[in-house]
Structure formats: C-alpha cells, structure tokens
Amino acid sequence: MTAITSDVAPRGGRQSRLGQLARNPSIACGAAVLVLLILVALLAPWLGTRDPTAISAFDRAKVPSAAFWFGTDMLGRDLYSRVLYGTRVSLIVGFSVAIGATILGVLIGVFAGFLPRFDAFVMRVMDGLMAIPSILLAIALIALNRASIWNVILAVTIAETPRVVRLIRGVVLFLREEPYVEAARSCGASVPWIVFRHILPNTFAPIAVQATYICAVAILAEAALSFIGAGVPPSTPSWGNIMAEGRALWQIKPYIIFFPALFLSITVLAINMLGDGLRDALDPRLRKRV
C-alpha cells in the first residue's frame, strides 16, 4: 500500500489519502452519482413510486405526465417506478460480480503464481474461457439454468474471473522476484506470510481499478442479457427487460426505452469515471497506458 501511494503523495494517514482521492474530479463526480444511485435503489419505495408490477388496463402506454412521470408501458405499469426499482437489479449485479470475480480471481491468481503445476493447468482453462466471448459464455451458462438474477450474477462472474486471474497472476509473478520478497524468503518467511504481508497489499491498486471496471461491464452485461431475453425474468423490473418490453412499441413510444437507457448509461458512465480516476490516482504507472 505505502509502496504505491508514496509515489504520488507524501505519506499520510488514511484520512488525508481519502481526501486526496476525493480531490480528483473524475473520482468525485463518479462517486457522487454512484452514491445518489445507491440511495435511489435503497429508497425506491419512498420516492413517489407505486407497485412496479401493478398492471392497469386503463393506463396502457400513456405518455409521460404529472401522474406518470416516465409514462406507462403497454401493460399500464408505471415506468418511473419500474426504472427506479430497476436500479436495484443493476447495482446488485454490478457489485456482486465485482466482488465475486475479484475474490475468485485473487484466490486462483495467487495460487497460480506460486504453484507452477497448478499454474500450467489453470492458465489453459482460463485461455479457453477467454476464447469464448463473455456474453456468449454467459448465455451458455444461463441456458443451462432458469433465467434469474442469481444465475446472471453467477454466469457473468465466471465470464469475468479469467481477466482478474491473469492480472493477479502477472502481478504475483512480478512481485515474487522483487528484492524485498526475496529478502523475506531468505529470512525464512512462510509462503502464506509472504502472500499476506508482501504480495496482496501491493495488488490492491490494480485490483481496485479492475473491480470498478468489472462492475461497469457486469451492469452492461446484465442489461444486454435481459434485453435479449436471457437475463432477469420479466417479473422483476430491470433496465434491460424494460427495454426489451418496449422494443415492440419503440417507434411510436420511444420514451419506454429512453428512460431505462438513460439511467443505464449514466450509471455505467459514473462507474467508468470512478475507475479512470482511481487508475490515475492509485497507480501512476498505468496512467500512460490506455
């Protein structure tokens, strides 16, 4: 941790480091929007919404008005409520996949970095998984099961993990040869000690950046899967399946697609800005690359 942050700033407490991150406009802006969206997801029932699944034959396909802020869909369901509740699905999928893929990826990556036999086998499997474009991999895994939010999370996690494994394995292989790790080893430090004390803390910056991007990719993947009918089932409103249901009517009622698309784009944009900011602030070595 210190080894990395000391490149950018004089050593300080956690407080000043957080303050430093918040001064990055990209981080501040992305984080602010993200916090707002988390609040929307948590407080959805109290934000003037009604039951997002309540069908009303009288209010079918109404344009946005004072009564229905975002209009209604062809079953008369209130789109404002559906879009707000949809925030929950997107954020749950994004955060779950980011956490799941990171934990799995770090575990496998660290083992691969230290056990050559395991490494040879695991990396072939990872190459194989990465040869299948991730959305197809997710489609294949979901096809085996019922479409549900948990299966979407599981499938996208499996599709995203190989990238984390590769990243962590690379960092571990690099750090293993660093003089301070060699010094620790020559002092008789055990492998777990080296991993927890010397390796993992130095993987923090790339992991934080990668996890943020995975969160964005997962939200996009869920939306795409639900949009083509292989994601979250229609009984739970998600931005992707609201758009899927609006597909038939979009030429005459474009607002059915517009609002979920807007929320989706803003969410992913905020997370990407957060990721770019973190990359620049935490790991100056990465800044020059993409």
Partner 1 sequence: MLSHIARRLLAALPVMAFVALFVFGLLYLAPGDPAAIMAGDQATAADIARIRIALKLDDPFPIRFGNWVWSLLHGDLGLSLFTNQPVAAMIVQRLEPTYLLMLMTLVVSVTLALPIGVIAAWKHNTASDRAVMVFAVLSFSVPSFVVGYLLAFVFGLQLRWLPVQGYVPMSNGLWPAVRSLILPAVALGSVYIGLLARITRATMLEVLAQDYVRTARAKGAEERKILFKHALKNCSVPIITTIGSGVALLIGGAIVTETVFAIPGLGRLTVDAILRRDYPVIQGVILLFSFMYVLVNLLVDMLYTVFDPRIRY
From 170, 165, 70, 80, select the one nearest 127 (Cα to Cα).
Answer: 165
DSSP assignments along 63-105, one per residue: PS-SSSTT-B-TT--BHHHHHHHHHHHHHHHHHHHHHHHHHHH
Total Cβ atoms within 10 A of residue 57:
7
Residue 250, interface with partner 1 (CB under 8 A)?
yes
Give me the helix-helix angle, 255-282 and 14-23, nearest 10°: 130
In the bound state with partner 1, the residue whose beta carbon lies nearer, of 28 and 132, is 132
In this complex, which beta carbon is closest to partner 1, that of residue 57 or of residue 131?
Answer: 131
Binding map of partner 1 across residues 118-147, x = CB under 8 A, - = no contact: ------xx-xxx-xxxxxxx-xx-xxx---
Whether 240 and 224 have beta carbons less than 8 Å apart is answered as yes
Instruction: Read off the tokens for 13.
Output: 């407490």
Radius of gyration of the chain (CA): 22
Nearer to partner 1, 48 or 133 (CB): 133
CB nearer to partner 1: give 139 or 168: 139
Q: How near is the Cβ of 285 to partner 1 at its closest, in Å? A: 13
Which window, 93-101, 166-174, 175-183, 260-268, contacts partner 1 (CB under 8 A)? Answer: 260-268
- Helices and strands: H and E segment counts in the chain: 13, 0
Taking Cα atoms as reference points, which of 90, 76, 88, 73 lies closest to residue 242?
Answer: 73
* Helix 255-282 / helix 200-227 crossing angle, nearest 10 deg: 170
Task: Report helix angle 116-131 to 79-114, nearest 10.
Answer: 150
Q: Any contact of residue 208 with partner 1 (CB under 8 A)?
A: no
CB of 124 to partner 1, least distance (A): 6
Q: Does 249 bind partner 1 (CB under 8 A)?
A: no
Query: Rule CB under 8 A: is residue 254 a binding residue for partner 1?
Result: yes
Which of 60/247 has CB closer to partner 1? 247
Cα pseudo-dihedral 33, 38, 41, 42, rounded to 10: -140
What is the total count of residues that contact partner 1 (CB under 8 A)? Answer: 42
In the shown chain, the binding pattern of residues 263 to 282 toward partner 1, with x for contact by CB under 8 A and - for none, equals: -xx--xx--xx--x------
User: Does 243 interact with partner 1 (rule: CB under 8 A)?
Assistant: yes
To the nearest whole angstrom, how small is the minimum distance from the Cβ of residue 190 to partner 1?
34
Per CB under 8 A, the segment of 82-90, 174-182, 186-194, 220-228 that binds partner 1 is 220-228
Positions in the binding site for partner 1 (CB under 8 A): 124-125, 127-129, 131-137, 139-140, 142-144, 216, 220, 223-224, 227-230, 243, 247, 250-251, 254, 257, 261, 264-265, 268-269, 272-273, 276, 288-290
